[in-house]
Amino acid sequence: MKTLRLLSFALIVFSLACLAQSNPIDSLKRLLDVAEQDSNRVMTLLELSRLNFSDAPDEAIRYANDALTLSDNLGFGKGKAMALK
């Protein structure tokens, strides 16, 4: 009986912890709103592209294309290579 109570308590605690986590896509979009036109913005766009890859492929492509364009303008070769990936 104690094992069942402990297991139930653990499941409740873990499920509440999962609900408390924020969506990383929303956080990155907010970060993108204030980011300057530099390599950090490119990396943020690439991360958004990666996170949207399976759920929203159209958005993933758009973010990757934005990262590619900005990488070209900045001469950021690593960002360009990752955007083309």
Nearest alpha-carbon partner for 83 in 75, 55, 74, 70: 70
For residue 66, give both structure tokens: 């934005």
Question: Region 67-79: what's the mean pLDDT?
Answer: 96
DSSP 37: S
- Looking at residue 6, what is its pLDDT? 57
- For the ranges 8-17, 40-49, 55-64, which has the lowest average pLDDT? 8-17
Q: What is the DSSP string of 22-67?
A: PPHHHHHHHHHHH--SSHHHHHHHHHHHHHHTTT-HHHHHHHHHHH
**Contact between residue 19 and residue 54 where contact means Cβ atoms under 8 Å apart:** no
- Looking at residue 23, what is its pLDDT? 85
User: Does position 18 have pLDDT exceeding 90, yes or no?
Assistant: no
Across the chain, mean pLDDT equals: 85
Question: Region 69-84: what's the mean pLDDT?
Answer: 95
